[in-house]
Homo-oligomer: A and B are copies of this chain.
Amino acid sequence: TVRNLFLLPGDGIGPEAMGEVRKIIAYMNEAMGAGFVTDEGLVGGSAYDAHGAAISEADMVKALAADAVLFGAVGGPKWDSVPYEVRPEAGLLRLRKDLQLFANLRPAICYPALASASSLKPELVEGLDILIIRELTGGVYFGEPKEIIDLGNGQKRGIDTQVYDTYEIERIAGVAFEMARTRQNRVCSMEKRNVMKSGVLWNQVVTETHKAKYSDVQLEHMLADAGGMQLVRQPKQFDVIVTDNLFGDMLSDVAAMLTGSLGMLPSASLGAPDGKTGKRKALYEPVHGSAPDIAGKGIANPIAMIASFAMCLRYSFNLVKEADDLEKAIANVLDKGIRTGDIMADGARQVGTVEMGDAILAEFKTL
């Protein structure tokens, strides 16, 4: 088998974190004949510096052709005032849209070794394991009109449009129900149907999809503001949460922060299975950002990037055992008290990016 990976390390700590994934790829090729073939491109500020765009057309072609894209992080103060169309985030948004990665899977898990790092009381987060399914190619992120109009008299008007069609809601609900079946079989759908018409439609379509195809799964509806509250109050009440692009952005960040494991959380963005081959386009990225303040210092935590690669093994290549082992390797290394600075604790041993990557790889080899 040949498995094509396209690597987009991006800006800030992205390249450092990606370096540690490269070692794991090399090992898997060597020792397991995994057949990964990698190519690499630029995205975000580094692409802007090179090409004047947040991602080049050539790299878009490669991303579209790959079996999976591994994405680091984008952005930094250096590019804070570049034009809107070429800001670093535009590269990520274009990838999501052009690859039609409509399903964003964001696990919010609390690594037991890190429960005390949460700002919540430990008993509220110990064992936390939520999967947030965020719609990623629709809603206010991409709806038109999206513009600033000059009204004259010194007045401008900023407009964004939230749009959801039935099929978009149906397919993301389907992903949520399917995922729930592999977990605790419970889905909570969040919207603002009391204020938004798209929320009314969202609620209806999720309800109908459930009735038609997934009535074995337990379904609950919650207003998104109440959902934010409940995440803070009693996060363990949730199994799978499904929500739109913008609410998903907010809620998944809150959920990630709750775990105390923010620097460690991965995500997967998946497309629909191809009609012929059954393959899905996919992009994997850490939830954390580019952390420009610590970039280049060799101290960034590579775990979220490595855990994103574990999701890649699972969802793009069905290498389930390997994915499980890689996740286990991460947990074991944490249990041994090996920590980067961001998750340092009393009595632990502080290491840098490379040492953390090495420790995880060493552990992975033993499994």
Interface residues of A (CB under 8 A from B): 84, 87, 89, 93, 119-121, 124, 140-141, 143, 146-148, 151, 154-167, 192, 194-202, 224-226, 228-229, 231-234, 246-247, 249-251, 253-254, 256-258, 262
**Cross-interface CB contact of A194 among B87, B121, B146, B258, cutoff 8 Å:** B87
Cβ of B93 and Cβ of A195 under 8 Å apart?
A: yes
CA A161 – CA B225 in complex, angstroms? 19
Which residue of chain B lies nearest to A204 when distances are taken between CB atoms in the complex? B156
Residues of B within 8 A of A146 (CB): 196-197
Residues of B within 8 A of A151 (CB): 165-166
Residues of B within 8 A of A156 (CB): 165-166, 201
CA A233 – CA B258 in complex, angstroms? 8
Cβ of A200 and Cβ of B162 under 8 Å apart?
A: no
Which residue of chain B lies nearest to A92 when distances are taken between CB atoms in the complex? B194
**Cross-interface CB contact of A162 among B162, B234, B247, B257, cutoff 8 Å:** B162
Which residue of chain B lies nearest to A260 when distances are taken between CB atoms in the complex? B233
CA A202 – CA B157 in complex, angstroms? 10
Residues of B within 8 A of A195 (CB): 89, 93, 140-141, 249
Minimum-distance CB pairs A-B, first 7: A158-B201, A158-B198, A229-B257, A160-B162, A225-B253, A89-B194, A232-B257
**Cross-interface CB contact of A154 among B87, B166, B247, cutoff 8 Å:** B166
Cβ of B226 and Cβ of A253 under 8 Å apart?
A: yes
Cβ of A228 and Cβ of B200 under 8 Å apart?
A: no
Cβ of B233 and Cβ of A249 under 8 Å apart?
A: no
**Cross-interface CB contact of A228 among B124, B154, B163, B253, cutoff 8 Å:** B253
Residue pairs across A and B with Cβ atoms less than 8 A apart, 23 shown, are: A84-B197, A89-B195, A119-B121, A119-B124, A119-B232, A120-B120, A120-B232, A140-B195, A148-B200, A148-B201, A151-B166, A155-B167, A157-B166, A157-B201, A159-B161, A161-B161, A192-B249, A224-B250, A225-B250, A228-B253, A228-B254, A229-B253, A232-B254
| Given A121-B121, A162-B161, A165-B151: A229 and B254 interface contact (C-beta under 8 Å) | yes
Known: A89-B194, A146-B197, A228-B228. 20 other contacts (CB 8 A): A93-B195, A119-B120, A119-B121, A119-B232, A120-B232, A148-B201, A155-B167, A156-B165, A158-B198, A158-B202, A159-B198, A161-B162, A224-B250, A225-B250, A226-B253, A228-B254, A229-B256, A229-B262, A232-B257, A233-B257
Cβ of B197 and Cβ of A158 under 8 Å apart?
A: yes
Which residue of chain B lies nearest to A161 when distances are taken between CB atoms in the complex? B161
Cβ of A165 and Cβ of B157 under 8 Å apart?
A: yes
Of A158, A162, A254, most buried by chain B (CB within 10 Å of CB) is A158
Which residue of chain B lies nearest to A156 when distances are taken between CB atoms in the complex? B166
Which residue of chain B lies nearest to A164 when distances are taken between CB atoms in the complex? B158
Which residue of chain B lies nearest to A198 when distances are taken between CB atoms in the complex? B158
CA A294 – CA B243 in complex, angstroms? 29
**Cross-interface CB contact of A140 among B196, B232, B250, cutoff 8 Å:** B196
CA A272 – CA B84 in complex, angstroms? 33
CA A120 – CA B118 in complex, angstroms? 9
CA A246 – CA B223 in complex, angstroms? 12
CA A226 – CA B249 in complex, angstroms? 10
A88 CB to closest chain B CB (Å) equals 8
**Cross-interface CB contact of A250 among B121, B148, B166, B228, cutoff 8 Å:** B228
